[in-house]
């Protein structure tokens, strides 16, 4: 991997891939043929060119997984795609999975959380970065979840319970790490408790996730709402057919969310602004099939492949990695920032070490990315302290970003009570 690189991540619900169980969701070999789907998948993969490819609704047999890699990924002179064995504690007919470019990434661990109705899979990847000392790798945690479908109170509660289990695991094992959570979440809007526990209400602020569409208006009550047409991912078919959901694009079910470590580049990784996309959604196909008429966002063959492969659109995002080559990170200046008290109220004191005389900027953000306060001041080098007035800041979790004019910086989490 180069000292600087960009990882493309893609998540895709493959619609009962390889699952021909009689009477199962009206999907059979005749209307959801795996060989035909493979052609569509190869077209989509060639267009997106992901480095990390996660899936939902994949058939459970190990042989199916092996064949998928051979037919769609490691073909011709390509031999670098790797995956992991299937874990399926729930015994489901459809599972989640991951495929990754082994030239750039390695897999350290795969854990399957026993959630209902399907396991939630956690993959601990690491960057193959020669500039870092042996054993001092940069990790990227990918959590793949397929939440309970349906819009009854029971369905919504089941989704919430799945996510509650997942969030607890993240809090215990991956707080303050580079984490992505992705999959088919089947959420009908941002007011649903499942969405809230991911982004707002979980009690550990180090475990919360940021929705990359928050800053561009993609968060709200998106179900059957034309205001959110550019962000819908389901359904690719307008007309009623066996296996495929119908009605055209009118729901946002498919997600990739990121930890704040990725959103604000705490540990060598940063979300590339505005890179999150629903592949094939040009914002002009509300309640239409994805390939109906002209699709201005993808070539015709890709639109047709998206239509034929699944009733979901894949979602993608890019992550920039910035790792210094030949630099001993222990020698790089640290700002050693902290805030006291924390939780804070009224006026708090921010302490930090200033590596060099110059202007330091302080910015307070909500967890949704809204800038609440900004202050700049010149400091000499050495240990420093500055007061921050929080009297007009409502109770909740916040992020304080500290930046030196020469590029050094740190972001710390703040609780206001």
Distance CA 335, CA 73 (A): 44
pLDDT, residue 329, reads 39
Does the pLDDT at position 1 exceed 80?
A: no
In this prediction, residue 24 carries a pLDDT of 56
Identify the sign of the CA torsion 153, 159, 163, 164: positive
Domains 4-322 and 333-416 share a fold: no
Instruction: Please compute the mean of the pLDDT values over residues 64-76 and round it to a whole number.
Output: 95
Band (pLDDT 50/70/90 cuts) for residue 193 is very high
Would the pLDDT of 117 be above 70? Answer: yes
- Whole-prediction pTM: 0.82
**pLDDT tens per residue, range 388-416:** 999 999 988 888 888 887 777 788 888 89
Domain 333-416: give its CATH superfamily: Macroglobulin (MG2) domain (2.60.40.1930)
Cβ–Cβ contacts within 10 Å for residue 266, how many? 18
Does pLDDT of 174 surpass 90? yes
Q: Kindly state the average pLDDT of the residues 33-38.
A: 96
Stretch among 73-82, 204-213, 404-413 having the lowest mean pLDDT? 404-413
pLDDT at residue 326, rounded to an integer: 31
Percent of the chain residues past pLDDT 90, beyond the cut: 71
Q: What is the 3-state secondary structure (H, E, C) of the chain?
A: CCCEEEEEEEEEEEEEECCCCCCCCCCCCCCCCHHHHHHHHHHHHHHHCCCEEEEEEEECCHHHHHHHHHHHCCCCCCCCEECCCCCCCCCCCEEEEEEEECCCEEEEEEEEECCCCCCEEEEEEEECCCCCCCCCCCEEEEEEEECCCCCCHHHHHHHHHHHHHHHHHHHHHCCCCCEEEEEECCCCCCCCHHHHHHHHHCCCHHHCEECCCHHHCCCCCCCCCHHHHHHCCECCCCCCCCCCCCCCECECCEEEEEEHHHHCCCCCEEECCCCCEECCCCCCCECCCCCCCCCCCCCHHHHHHHHHHCCECCEEEEEEEECCCCCCHHHCCCCCCEEECCCECCEEEEEEEECCCEEEEEEEEECCCCEEEEEEEEECCEEEEEEEECCCCCCEEEEEEEEECCCCEEEEEEEEC
- pLDDT, mean of residues 4-29: 84
Predicted local confidence at residue 129, as pLDDT: 76
Contact indicator for 188, 271 with CB cutoff of 8 Å: no
**Contacts (Cβ under 8 Å, ≥6 apart) of 93:** 19, 21, 24, 59, 60
Which tens digits make up the pLDDT trace of 320-362? 987 532 333 344 456 788 899 988 888 999 999 888 888 999 9
Between 25-34, 99-108, 217-226, the lowest mean confidence (pLDDT) is in 25-34
Mean pLDDT of the chain: 90
Dump pLDDT digits (tens) for 120-159.
999 999 998 765 555 567 899 999 999 999 999 999 999 9
- Residue 19 clears pLDDT 90, i.e. is over it: no
What pLDDT, in 10s, does the model give residues 365-391?
A: 887 667 889 899 999 988 899 999 999
Does the structure show a pLDDT above 70 at 218? yes
349-359 pLDDT, tens digit each: 999 988 888 89
> Domain spans of the chain?
4-322, 333-416
Per-residue pLDDT, 42: 97
Q: Among 61-65, 242-246, 264-268, 375-379, whose mean pLDDT is lowest?
A: 264-268
d(CA 352, CA 377): 13
| Residue-level pLDDT at 328 | 38
Note the CATH number of domain 4-322. 3.60.10.10
pLDDT at 396: 87
């Amino acid at each position: 991997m180069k000292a600087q690189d960009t990882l493309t991540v893609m998540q895709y619900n493959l619609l009962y891939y390889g699952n021909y169980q009689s009477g199962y969701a009206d999907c059979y070999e005749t209307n959801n043929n795996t060989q035909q789907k493979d052609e569509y998948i190869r077209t989509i993969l060639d267009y997106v060119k992901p480095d990390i490819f996660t899936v939902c609704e994949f058939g459970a047999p190990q042989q199916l997984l092996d064949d998928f890699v051979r037919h769609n990924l490691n073909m011709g002179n390509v031999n670098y795609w790797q995956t992991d064995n299937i874990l399926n504690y729930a015994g489901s007919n459809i599972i989640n999975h991951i495929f990754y470019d082994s030239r750039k990434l390695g897999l350290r661990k795969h854990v399957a959380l026993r959630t209902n109705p399907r396991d939630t899979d956690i993959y601990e990847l690491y960057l193959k970065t020669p500039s870092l000392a042996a054993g001092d790798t940069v990790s990227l945690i990918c959590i793949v979840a397929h939440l309970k479908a349906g819009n009854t109170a029971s369905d919504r509660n089941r989704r919430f319970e799945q996510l509650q289990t997942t969030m607890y695991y993240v809090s215990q094992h991956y707080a303050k790490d580079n984490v992505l959570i992705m999959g088919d979440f089947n959420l009908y809007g941002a007011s649903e408790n499942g969405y809230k526990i991911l982004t707002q209400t979980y009690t550990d602020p180090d475990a919360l996730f940021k929705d990359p569409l928050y800053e561009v208006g993609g968060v709200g009550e998106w179900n059957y709402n034309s205001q959110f047409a550019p962000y819908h991912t389901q359904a690719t078919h307008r007309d009623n057919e066996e296996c495929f959901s119908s009605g055209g694009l009118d729901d946002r079910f498919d997600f990739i969310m990121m930890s704040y470590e990725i959103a604000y580049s705490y540990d060598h990784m940063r979300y590339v602004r505005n890179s999150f996309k629903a592949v094939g959604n040009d914002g002009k196909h509300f309640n239409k099939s994805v390939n109906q008429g002209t699709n201005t966002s993808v070539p015709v063959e890709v639109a047709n492949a998206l239509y034929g492969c699944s009733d979901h659109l894949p979602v993608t995002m890019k992550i920039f990695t910035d790792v210094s080559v030949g630099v001993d990170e222990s020698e790089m200046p640290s700002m050693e920032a902290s805030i006291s008290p924390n939780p804070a109220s009224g006026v708090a004191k921010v302490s930090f070490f200033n590596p060099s005389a110059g202007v330091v900027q302080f910015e307070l953000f909500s967890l949704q990315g809204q800038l609440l306060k900004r202050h700049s001041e010149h400091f000499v080098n050495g240990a420093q302290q500055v007061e921050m007035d929080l009297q007009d800041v409502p109770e909740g979790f916040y992020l304080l970003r500290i930046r030196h004019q020469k590029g050094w910086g740190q972001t710390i989490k703040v609780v206001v009570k």
